[in-house]
Structure 1
Amino acid sequence: MLTPQPIVGVSESPFTGDAQVYVHQGQLWQAEVELPPIVGTARAGPWKAFLTKLNGRAGTFLMGDPDARVPRGSAANEPGLPQVQGDGQLGSDLLIDGLPASVSGYLLAGDYVQLGSGPDARLHLVQDDVDSDPAGQATLSLWPRVRRSPPDNDTVVVAQTQGVFRMTSNATGWESNEAMVYGFSFTARSVP
């Protein structure tokens, strides 16, 4: 399960109820992962190795939303290679190009995109439907906001999207019973 974790401070007066709200730059994904039961040490072994290789919070790994591997918008079937349009873009809006011209619903609110790859991969949720203009350009409204500016013409991944995550605890483990049925669960947070 992926949960958005905005970092917002609120100071509320106990006398008047008036509140001051401060929206900090941080916006992270919190992931709670529980694998289905795994039978046998042969199948559980790779998961044991994966968790111990992370060495608690030291290592990172790539993960996406397993329920949203393919976009619901027409990007799943349309040709085109979306790319970042211009250097220096930070914040919630990202200009892109390389889309098919004049397409309505290329991406839909709730689809994901990935910026960067490997250890620089960041997972973003599209907040508004994306329509391309006659030049094949569009603006993505993203959560979390872009904190590392992607280079001009960098590919915007629209399917099989992932981001870099880190465990929330150094303690990782698993359970097993006498029938050698293993249970694995852990929590992780996206790397900003």
Structure 2
Amino acid sequence: MVIALPLSPAPRGITPRLLSKRLDQEPTFGGSVSRVRRLGSKWSFDVELPPMMYVDAMAWVAALSSAEADTVLLNLPQPGFATGNPGNPLVNGAGQLGSLLNLDGFSPYTAKAGQWFSLIMGGRRYVHQVAEDKTAASGAMAGLKINPMLRRSPADNTVVEFAQPKVEGFLSGRETTWTVDVARTVGLSFTITERE
């Protein structure tokens, strides 16, 4: 079961980290290093919430405490960036792999480098980032460069969330903690790591 984390208050800080599976190959007898980009890189997000009164933090504490064996779902904020109206983007064509993604179903739209989006495959979300600006022509966007590489091949017409991307993953670590200070405010921070 996926546990949707509260929408309010929004995180005051998120630190994304790309957990890379790349391989650096160093020649045994000297020479230049070769870097191989490999399948399986994924995202991890360190999340810090603003100080909250205890009564306002209760929903967050309950959701985080409930995520013992379940994944959590968090809206990814993109402060200062207006995603606009992307339409209803879908994967255009089955069998896609690698760092390029063909999409359709867009309104007139330009995806911006650094913008987050999520793919929903098999009921699970996978976060990606646009690698360079790309404009949809006649509702289609061919060869959108993304990071990291696709971890699974999406089916044709897989839903793509540009308007409100979300990260889904497990809470990292074995304990859920929070602080309550003398001013009765609660401090919460946690890490979400994609499961695949």
Separation (CA, whole Å) in 2 of partners of 1:169 and 1:59: 13
CA shift in 2, pair 1:77/1:23, >3 Å = closer
* Cα shift at 1:82: 2.0
* Cα shift at 1:96: 1.2
Is the aligned partner of 1:22 residue 2:36?
yes
2:169 corresponds to which residue? 165
Contact residue 70 and residue 160 of structure 1 kept, 8 A: no
- Aligned to 1:166, the other structure's residue is in SS state strand
1:63 corresponds to which residue? 74
Separation (CA, whole Å) in 1 of partners of 2:58 and 2:183: 15
Please point out which of 143, 162, 167 is paired with 2:147. Answer: 143
Please point out which of 69, 81, 91 is paired with 1:84. Answer: 91
Separation (CA, whole Å) in 2 of partners of 1:184 and 1:154: 34
CA shift in 2, pair 1:94/1:13, >3 Å = closer
- Aligned to 2:63, the other structure's residue is in SS state helix
Name the aligned partner's letter for residue 182 of structure 1: V
Q: Between the two proteins, what is the percent identity of the paired residues?
A: 31
- Aligned to 1:43, the other structure's residue is in SS state helix
- Aligned to 2:110, the other structure's residue is in SS state coil
TM-score by length of 1: 0.81
CA RMSD after TM alignment: 2.5
Is the aligned partner of 1:128 residue 2:122?
no
Contact residue 121 and residue 158 of structure 2 kept, 8 A: no
Structure 2, gaps ≥5 residues long: 1-14
More moved, 27-36 vs 108-117 = 108-117
Please point out which of 155, 175, 179 is paired with 1:175. Answer: 179
1:96 corresponds to which residue? 103
* Cα shift at 1:77: 4.0
Name the aligned partner's letter for residue 60 of structure 1: T
Structure 1, gaps ≥5 residues long: none
More moved, 62-71 vs 23-32 = 62-71
Contact residue 39 and residue 150 of structure 2 kept, 8 A: no
Please point out which of 53, 58, 65 is paired with 1:45. Answer: 58
